[in-house]
Structure 1
Amino acid sequence: MIRSLIILLCFLTLNCEGDNDSVSQDQEDPKVIVPLSDQDMMTLTQSETFKYFWDFANTNSGAAKERYHPTNPTLNQNVVTTGGTGFGLMAILVGIERGFITRTEGVTRLNKILNFLENANRFHGAWPHWLDGSTGTVLPFSSKDNGGDLVETAFLAQGLICVKEYLINGTDPEKELANKADLLWKGVEWDWYTQNQNALYWHWSPNYGFDINLKLTGYNETLITYVLAAASPNHSITKQVYENGWASNGNIVTSSTQYGFPLVLKHAGGSTFGGPLFFSHYSFLGLNPKNLSDLYGNYWNLAVNHTQINRQYCIANPKSFVDYGANCWGLTASYSRNSDGSLGYSAHSPSNDIGVISPTAAISSIPYTPSESLSVMHFLYQKKEKLLGPAGFYDAFSPQNNYWVADAYLAIDQGPQIIMIENYRTGLLWNLFMQNTDVKNGLTKLGFNY
């Protein structure tokens, strides 16, 4: 329910664009491919996915495009996504550490992006969902969504904090850039987005105010918004905003289990099988769930169980879809296949399963299910002639439909892959984010153990 507005808009937009040329339905290539080691598999996935944020970023701003279609590269080329750009900032840090780019190259690109963000439209400190990469002006995401988007802003702020921590002890120019990143996220008026209520609200428009009136209630991808709102030194929220908003006064807790795994918290949308896997990705790109708990639950157990339930559902395969199983699983929001074979968008999950697998689902879950996620990566690599494109594994495919492939990419699906693989390998982004003093203060304020 939380992302229904977004999903509907993307669906309508994509179908209006008539992107049928982005769909491949060729026969499966039976050629056997020499498998990679686990380490090489992770490095390849990271290096190829990194290209989305480096080679195919918006030219003018350096920020992340909302989408990239290799068969139609000029499609929406100036539409920059705020949340995806936050993921891109973190991906650039990985690129530096992995040697995909030099530190100088990375810092130069980071400077370009932050200069763009500094001059872009903001609404009580929050950036909109979409920006024009050439001008920095807001691009409406829907008829009333032409102002601040607090959740996308939180994803961006997560990346800005990691940049700040990464560069703060560097050269003088790097320190200056670190301070800019720090000031940018601290300029967000988180408390404004409460409407003076004990909850955070997703949108504010200069034309429509809070008309969309979408309260941020968990469990979903919005936990990071509450953490950063509490962490803000100048625009902080109270603990009651978190308790009443995110946790619904304790009603977020559930005793439901699936396949022997406790769900821990109720998922937005009401599914007792758990929502799309991005629920357990976006907030935890920087926020480390390993030792994270509060009055309502243990977030590591929650994320692991959410992933295992999603995987076990695919293994059980109640709809008997082709190739679903231990090596081919992962349901989350991504491009999708419409009934006529054209390209659409859907929040895939066990309660919305149409036979479409999203590579980001299992790959970005690697900290929670290491061997299980690697099995999926190896499976995808064996079909690389169809599934691996110029910016990593394509966004979605359907074994059920003769290996239909959505040969396109979305920033919010590519970013978590490179970031979460790195968190599994070295903890890079987790360490950067969790060492931030303001973040620590925010977590303590909300009653977290971490």
Structure 2
Amino acid sequence: MDDRNPRALAALPDEALIDAVQRQTFRYFWDGADADSGLALDRRTLVSATGEDLPDDRVAIGGTGFGIMAMIVAVERGWVTRDAALERLGRMRDALFRARRYHGAFPHFMDAASGATIPMSPKDDAGDLVETSFLCMGLLCARQYFSEDTAAARRLRSDIDTLWHEVEWNWFTQGGRDVLYWHWSPNHGWAMNHEVRGWNECLITYLLAAAAPRHAIDPRVYHRGFAAGAGFLNGQSYYGIEIPLGMPYGGPLFFTHYSFCGLDPHGLKDRYADYWDLNCRHLQINRAHCIANPHGHPGYGESCWGLTASDDPDGYLAHAPDIDNGTISPTAALASLPYAPTEVMQVLRHFLTVHGTRLWKDYGFIDAFCERRGWFAETYLAIDQGPIVVMMENHRTGLLWKLFMSMPEVQAGLRALDFSSPHLESPAP
């Protein structure tokens, strides 16, 4: 089977097709990573004239976390050997130790060779707690997966513990306030002043902050910080679907992906929501909007939907039903496979048969497209490719969910925040 022939792929049975999409998309993190360190590049850009692609010079910390999770899938599926993955993870670990950290937190972007921070914006030039949480999620899954009693695996686990233990989550409460702050900089202090309040992609940040063995937050920071403010409780109906948490229309679909690459939403509940139900409702609203298509965007329908943050004809935007310029991002539907498998497979086959090689290339699907503008992205983004591989695997086997939810620290963090989950139930004697 030629994995680069989209029409041939579209004719495969579901499981074989999912496998092919995962495997091709994983290449972004294996063949397309920074050549020396193995860390995930923020993006790669196609060159129209030659068909080649150019790597970005920036390593993405959150994208690297998703890439590590994708690598676990690749080992489990036999696409790369365990030894090759351990060697790659060793290089990645060495580069992460070179990175400049800020009270243990990594920046959004870094230079792989020197470890220097690459500012995202003039004041966003240092610690990024949310990106750090995505990285830690991936590192902790690797710690669980590479459990063998060999020198390389033992060292990897020990070094992951060092990186994880040194993140000063409680520092990011800005001196004991009841909310986490996204950024801190030695040059600008707390000038960004970005409070992490929900509902959004940051549940994982609060969970890991509560789970941390050394620098944990008090549980009240979750309840008074993340779960407080205008963007958390909702309770409104959109397209006839009520949603308990989040912004109007639920927001971009990556809210249902990023934290839930590791956190298993099945039966995950706290005093605010049932998170499986929440994510399914969010997806249904996003899909219903594209089917209703109130703006008349070409291409939208039951076979073509999915609004989330991605590149678009004018730059980069967090697309959602109330921020809809006609841009469809393949990651939006594909990483939602656990929530609506039949509907997502319909979209996947549509992408391959209708758009073919305009969408499907060496590292899987390009980042986004907009039929109204006749625009197809010339980019792949780490934070969009990673969740495709990981969430498809969670649908198939629950692999990353089982790894992450089995960790003693994660279970302690969930209990501290008063979550319930089937993973927390004591096994029968």
TM-score (norm 1): 0.88
Q: CA deviation at 1:59?
A: 1.1
What secondary structure does 1:157 align onto?
helix
Q: How do 1:251-262 residues align onto structure 2 when only pairs under 5 Å count?
A: 252-262=232-242
Q: How do 1:118-197 residues align onto structure 2 when only pairs under 5 Å count?
A: 118-195=97-174, 196-197=176-177
What secondary structure does 1:377 align onto?
helix
* Aligned partner letter, 2:151: D
Distance 1:248 1:175 in 2: 41
Give CA deviations for 1:252-310 in whole Å, capped at 9, x if unaligned.
3222112232211132xxxx211010111111100111111111111111111101100
Give CA deviations for 1:66-116 in whole Å, capped at 9, x if unaligned.
100131867563210100000011011011111111111111111110111
* Aligned partner letter, 2:236: S
Per the alignment, residue 324 of structure 1 pairs with 300
Give CA deviations for 1:337-361 in whole Å, capped at 9, x if unaligned.
13xxxxx111111111111100000
> Any conservation in 2 of the 1:389–1:407 contact (CA below 8 Å)?
no
Per the alignment, residue 209 of structure 2 pairs with 229
Q: In the alignment, is residue 40 of structure 1 matched against residue 20 of structure 2?
A: no
Q: CA deviation at 1:424?
A: 0.3
Distance 2:370 2:178 in 1: 43
Q: CA deviation at 1:31?
A: 8.2
Q: CA deviation at 1:37?
A: 1.2
Per the alignment, residue 112 of structure 1 pairs with 91
Per the alignment, residue 42 of structure 2 pairs with 66
Per the alignment, residue 378 of structure 2 pairs with 407
Q: In the alignment, is residue 392 of structure 1 matched against residue 364 of structure 2?
A: yes
Q: CA deviation at 1:120?
A: 1.0
Per the alignment, residue 78 of structure 1 pairs with 57
Q: CA deviation at 1:180?
A: 1.4
Per the alignment, residue 350 of structure 1 pairs with 321
Q: How do 1:260-299 residues align onto structure 2 when only pairs under 5 Å count?
A: 260-267=240-247, 272-299=248-275
Distance 1:312 1:122 in 2: 43
Per the alignment, residue 303 of structure 1 pairs with 279
What secondary structure does 1:256 align onto?
strand
Higher mean C-alpha displacement, 329-338 vs 392-401: 392-401
The CA RMSD over aligned residues, in Å, is 1.8
Q: In the alignment, is residue 422 of structure 1 matched against residue 393 of structure 2?
A: yes
Per the alignment, residue 424 of structure 2 pairs with none
Q: For structure 2, which runs of at least 5 residues remain unmatched after alignment? A: 1-5, 422-429
> Any conservation in 1 of the 2:197–2:231 contact (CA below 8 Å)?
no
Per the alignment, residue 218 of structure 2 pairs with 238
After superposing on structure 2, the runs of 4+ consecutive aligned residues of structure 1 that deviate more than 6 Å are 30-33
What secondary structure does 2:317 align onto?
strand
> Any conservation in 2 of the 1:78–1:134 contact (CA below 8 Å)?
no
Q: CA deviation at 1:33?
A: 7.8
What secondary structure does 2:46 align onto?
coil
Q: For structure 1, which runs of at least 5 residues remain unmatched after alignment? A: 1-29, 339-343
> Any conservation in 1 of the 2:9–2:17 contact (CA below 8 Å)?
no
* Aligned partner letter, 1:390: D
What secondary structure does 1:69 align onto?
strand
Instruction: Give the counterpart of 1:447 among 413, 418, 425.
Output: 418
Q: CA deviation at 1:325?
A: 0.7
What secondary structure does 2:250 align onto?
coil
Q: 1:163 to 1:32 in 2, by over 3 A?
A: closer
Distance 2:231 2:124 in 1: 29
What secondary structure does 1:293 align onto?
coil
Count of residue pairs the alignment pairs up: 412
Per the alignment, residue 341 of structure 2 pairs with 370
* Aligned partner letter, 1:391: Y
Q: How do 1:192-231 residues align onto structure 2 when only pairs under 5 Å count?
A: 192-195=171-174, 196-231=176-211
Q: CA deviation at 1:141?
A: 0.7
* Aligned partner letter, 1:179: S
TM-score (norm 2): 0.93
> Any conservation in 1 of the 2:199–2:231 contact (CA below 8 Å)?
no
Distance 1:380 1:75 in 2: 24
